[in-house]
């Protein structure tokens, strides 16, 4: 499949998640078969002002596979300028955030608030398209609330303005992350536009990925929370979709721990040990969920400060679980 002129291999992408999908996690997921990945959301205004932290957030030198850089903002000119500046980081394309529900973003007219003004959504897409010679995708929700589920209208405006693909998270802004995603609205968008549609919301493994593709007719799925502590989800989905429904077993204990250690080692390389270990705490808790002794290990994960702490934790988790390795 192609998004603009970019060839995409595989049918499951990693969803952008602020505080999660940094270069280290994107790389791990790409290695396990994510078709493409998306950065954490980047503020167009902060890029304009030359904010160093924002540049670091957008950095993608350690990435593998296509990476889309996600921008948020409410002003077409500012979004276009930011995209132009960020070209030097060489993303595969840009993704426009039209889904973020948090008051800090939506309260300023960005993220999901853009969906209240479909015409403006189109203006943003057009401005960014004109500024950069790369594919531009849009990530939206079903709509603002139950009374305003206008994803179809917004998707059409974006397509007309030149969007190369549309991703729909089947919840409204009002729903935040609660309840079930409405896959019907994804199907309606797929029927309304000709560019590729990426379905998002509640895909957590091979079976739900297949269900999403079948029930909505979407071209690809995007996985968010299902990838937390579980980057193997992409390998599982790919095997299930390509090899006549092969169900791969979950990773063994050694693979799990080696992957977690590599992921966090890469974080340390990219951000420095102290900051990386603070940020690694939540990842460690996700990776260790369900293992023997998980409650105590997760408590220790919450106190990680150094790579040496991490190595001791990995060793102790291995010792406590090794006899169950075959059954993991």
Ligand X SMILES: Cc1cc2nc3c(=O)[nH]c(=O)nc-3n(C[C@H](O)[C@H](O)[C@H](O)COP(=O)(O)O)c2cc1C
Catalytic residue among 100, 157, 158, 218: 100
Q: Which of 34, 41, 96, 106 binds ligand X (CB under 6 A)?
A: 41
Q: Among 10, 91, 122, 201, which residue sits at the site for ligand X (rule: CB under 6 A)?
A: 201
**Long-range pairs, 249-253, Cβ under 8 A, ≥24:** 250/328, 251/328, 252/325, 252/326, 252/328, 253/291, 253/318, 253/321, 253/322, 253/324, 253/325, 253/328
264 binds ligand X (CB under 6 A): no
Q: How far is the CB of 225 from ligand X (least distance, A)?
A: 3
Tokens 């968010």 belong to which residue?
A: 224
Segment contacting ligand X by CB under 6 A, of 18-26, 47-55, 126-134, 245-253:
18-26
Quick note: the x/- pattern for ligand X over 86-125, rule CB under 6 A, is -----------x-xx-------------------------
Number of residues that bind ligand X (CB under 6 A): 23
Q: Does 260 bind ligand X (CB under 6 A)?
A: no
Residue placing its CB nearer to ligand X in the complex, 238 or 321: 238
Q: Give the phi and the psi of residue 40 in degrees, each rounded to 5.
A: -65, 160
Gap between the Cα atoms of 286 and 291, Å rounded: 11
- Cβ proximity to ligand X: between 70 and 259 the closer is 70
Nearest to 126, CA basis, from 148, 154, 158: 158
Stretch that binds ligand X, among 5-13, 24-32, 190-198, 218-226 (CB under 6 A): 218-226
Q: What is the dihedral of CA 6, 19, 232, 237, to 10 degrees?
A: -50
100 catalytic per annotation: yes
Verify binding: residue 74, ligand X, rule CB under 6 A.
no
Work out the number of other CB atoms within 10 angstroms of the CB of residue 193.
17
Q: Is 169 in the site for ligand X (CB under 6 A)?
A: yes
Q: Is 16 in the site for ligand X (CB under 6 A)?
A: yes
Q: How far is the CB of 262 from ligand X (least distance, A)?
A: 22
Reference 154, options 190, 118, 185; nearest CA is 118
With beta carbons less than 8 A apart as the criterion, state whether 197 and 166 touch.
yes
How many residues are there in the chain?
Answer: 328
Interface contacts to ligand X, rule CB under 6 A: 15-20, 40-41, 70, 97, 99-100, 139, 169, 177, 200-203, 223-226
Just list the catalytic residues.
100
């Amino acid at each position: 499949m192609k998004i603009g002129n970019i060839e995409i291999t595989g049918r499951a992408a990693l969803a952008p998640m602020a505080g999660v999908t940094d270069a280290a996690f994107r790389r791990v997921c790409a290695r396990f078969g994510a078709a493409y990945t998306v950065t954490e959301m980047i503020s167009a205004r902060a890029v304009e002002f030359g904010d160093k932290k924002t540049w670091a957030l957008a950095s993608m030198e350690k990435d593998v596979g296509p990476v889309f850089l996600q921008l948020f903002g409410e002003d077409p000119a500012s979004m276009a300028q930011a995209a132009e500046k960020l070209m030097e980081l060489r993303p595969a394309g840009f993704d426009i955030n039209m889904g973020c529900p948090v008051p800090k973003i939506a309260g300023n007219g960005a993220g999901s608030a853009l969906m209240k003004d479909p015409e403006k959504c189109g203006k943003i897409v057009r401005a960014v398209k004109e500024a950069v010679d790369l594919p531009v995708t849009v990530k939206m929700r079903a709509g603002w609330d139950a009374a305003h589920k206008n994803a179809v209208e917004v998707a059409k405006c974006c397509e007309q303005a030149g969007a190369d693909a549309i991703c729909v998270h089947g919840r409204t802004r009002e729903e935040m992350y609660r309840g079930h995603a409405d896959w019907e609205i994804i199907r309606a968008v797929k029927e309304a536009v000709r560019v590729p549609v990426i379905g998002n919301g509640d895909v957590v493994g091979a079976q739900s990925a297949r269900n999403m593709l079948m029930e909505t007719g979407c071209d690809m799925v995007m996985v968010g929370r299902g990838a937390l502590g579980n980057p193997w989800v992409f390998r599982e989905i790919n095997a299930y979709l390509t090899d006549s429904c092969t169900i791969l077993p979950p990773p063994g204990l050694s693979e799990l721990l080696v992957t977690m250690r590599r992921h966090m080692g890469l974080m340390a390389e990219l951000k420095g040990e102290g900051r990386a270990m603070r940020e690694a705490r939540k990842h460690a808790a996700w990776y260790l969920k369900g293992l023997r002794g998980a409650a105590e290990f997760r408590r220790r994960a919450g106190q990680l400060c150094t790579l040496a702490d991490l190595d001791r934790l990995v060793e102790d988790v291995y010792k406590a679980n090794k006899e169950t390795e075959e059954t993991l």
